Amino acid sequence: MMHHRKRFLMAPFCVAFLTVSCVFGWDATADTANPPSLAVAATAFVTQLAEGDFEDATKTFDEPMSGALKPAQLKTIWESITQAAGEFERSTAVRHQSVDAYDIVFVTCKFASASLDTKVVFDQRGRITGLVFVPATPPGQYT
């Protein structure tokens, strides 16, 4: 029974991952210091999602991301995640990695029945150029 529950929970995350990452691909490998402004921006973005403010959330997207993910699509993805993982409760941690010209901020989010990392990818201008929802990585197991 638990195995089926995990499979059910993973379905929306896979959809979200495929929706966004089919346009963009990243391999987060190098850990660096957490730039405060990007951590604040990523956390604010997650707050916008949690509050249902998808219009304003997409205003921080770069041009390719804006073309790939419209507010209505972002709303559908967020709703599928909250349907599977439960109501968003809070952000619990933030960590940062740099890969080539991108800064990736992971905002760990606690939902009613699961924890997820919201992977927000920023370009050199500080615009969001990628978004992926993945199962949360326990502290000390970051890659």
Which of the four pLDDT bands, split at 50, 70 and 90, describes residue 22? very low
Measured CA to CA, the distance from residue 94 to residue 47 in angstroms comes to: 13
Q: Is residue 97 exposed (0-12), middle (13-18) or buried (19+ Cβ within 10 Å)?
A: buried
Measured CA to CA, the distance from residue 70 to residue 89 in angstroms comes to: 25
Tens of pLDDT, residue by residue over 88-132, are 999 999 999 999 999 999 999 999 999 999 999 999 999 999 999
pLDDT score recorded for residue 131: 97
Tens of pLDDT, residue by residue over 60-89, are 999 999 999 999 999 999 999 999 999 999
Whether residue 31 is predicted with pLDDT greater than 50 in this model: the reply is no
pLDDT score recorded for residue 3: 42
Which of the four pLDDT bands, split at 50, 70 and 90, describes residue 4? very low
